Structure 1
Amino acid sequence: MKHALILAAGLGERMRPLTDTTPKPLLEVHGKPLIVHHIEKLAAAGVNYIAINTSHLADQFPDVLGDGSRWGVRLRYSYEGPTPLETGGGMLKALPLLGNDPFIVVSADIWSDIDYAALPWQPAGVAHLVMVPNPDFHPKGDFALLDGQLYDEDAPAPAERLTFGNVGIYRPEIVAGEAPGKFKLAPMYRRAIAQRKLSGERYDGFWRNVGNAAQLEALRGEVG
């Protein structure tokens, strides 16, 4: 049985005014909400249970997506209140919906051809991240990758610095011991890197960030 978390609690501030009335993950690309792209891919990868964290205009998610039965999955919603809890806080709050085994986490505001089924669902460390070539808007990347291991500033040559593609497999313990509330995952990544418990892989296929209206329109012109 596989579980997933789709991160969908952002305020969508860079997508305004489109997100004044619609959460960013429910904005459509050729008649289909962005988040449905992920639900379909997760279902095809054998995921049975999907948690969706929500905040901004949260009531619209169950209204549009229902319980997931149309995709053969079970959807559950983790409401964070009017202020999103960031990636780490959102994951911690959703853990009761995700079970004790490793689970996949996907940000709702990307679009890619990543094969979720091909990812290592039993990572050697606390997480395994999909890394992509640095896009124009993030030229310095996030972490360096060498032989399947992620590094930060202490990366050995010839490690290549890449950008986190917002898709990863996580063990629940990555946020174990953290206090409930608002916090990012970045410190957890760096802690895992220091312990050599964060693996990764490079993905060179189709991947797009959908952070603003221009990126959304560009995506609509690229996919059918």
Structure 2
Amino acid sequence: MNKRNLVPCFLLAAGRGERMRPLTDELPKPLLTIKNKSLLAWHLEALSAAGIENVVINHAWLGNKIEQALGNGSQFNLNIAYSPETIALETAGGICKALPLLNPSDYFLVINGDVFSPNLPIAQLLEQVSNLRSMPNQPLAHLLMVPNPVQHLEGDFYLKGSQVASESQADA
């Protein structure tokens, strides 16, 4: 096990999972299983192995099932706190609501909890956090972009030179 790391992680898990219906009618998408392990469990095991100690998970749709399945995180050697949402607040809203549970004066990781990414380079992300902290003009965020799957090629962001841009900025 790596040494423990004080960088917290926020797992986004509030969505309805519409494209996975009917599977998500009675189970939140982040609890769907691959190889007998929930999507969230894959992330939590990787975070723990990388030395992360504290995780915050937001939830809306069937969120009580997420809390029942994961509890306080002790089975993953983690401390899990929850940020319940009456309705899903989307990414930015979820982050804003969860800020009091994180360390808003420092960097934290944000990971989509409903995707299968067993090779997520968490150790490299933590190293990048160290690099960001040492920069004189610290950037607000560092976004790790991954290729879109063939069944969903359109994305929300793209690279414009060395900068991340959104589709709404495409003509700017």
Q: TM-score, normalised by structure 1?
A: 0.63
- Go from structure 1 to structure 2 and tell me whether the alpha carbon gap of 1:56 and 1:141 turns closer, same or farther (over 3 Å shift): closer
Q: 2:163 aligns with which of 137, 147, 150?
A: 150
Q: Give the match's secondary structure for 1:47.
A: coil
Cα distance per residue 1:73-114 (max 9 Å; x no partner):
100010011x10000000000001111210000001222202
Deviation at 1:131, TM superposition (A): 1.4
Equivalent pairs counted in the alignment come to 154
1:121 alignment partner, SS class:
helix
Q: Deviation at 1:145? A: 5.7
Structure with the largest fraction of strand: 1
Following superposition, the deviation at residue 140 of structure 1 comes to 6.8
| Residue number in structure 2 paired with 1:121 | 129
SS of 1:110 mapped into structure 2: coil
Shift of 1:129: 0.9
Q: Structure 1 pair 49/140, CA: closer, same or farther in 2 (3 Å)?
A: closer
AA aligned opposite 1:121: V
Structure 2 contact 56–101 (Cα < 8 Å) conserved: yes
Aligned sequence identity (%) = 41
* 2:100 matches 1:96: yes
Partner of 1:45: 50
The CA distance in 2 between the partners of 1:145 and 1:3, in whole Å, is 29
What letter corresponds to residue 6 of structure 1 in structure 2? L
Cα displacement string for residues 157-182 of structure 1 (whole angstroms, at most 9, x for unaligned residues): xxxxxxxxxxxxxxxxxxxxxxxxxx
Following TM superposition, the consecutive aligned residue runs of length 4 or more in structure 1 with deviations greater than 4 angstroms are: none
- Secondary structure of residue in 1 paired with 2:129: coil
Kindly report which structure 2 residues correspond to 1:138-177, keeping only aligned pairs within 5 A, or say none: 138-139=153-154, 142-144=157-159, 146=161, 149-152=162-165
Q: Judge conservation of contact 2:8–2:53 (CA < 8 Å) in 1.
A: yes
The question of whether the paired residues in 2 share the 8 Å contact of 1:8 and 1:54 is answered with: yes
1:139/1:16 CA distance change after superposition, 3 Å:
closer
Separation in 2, partners of 1:44, 1:140:
30
**TM-score for both structures, normalised by structure 2:** 0.81
Where structure 1 has 5 or more consecutive residues not aligned to the other structure, the ranges are: 154-185, 195-224
Cα 1:102/1:17, change in 2 over 3 Å: same
- Cα drift, residue 152 of structure 1: 2.9
RMSD: 2.2
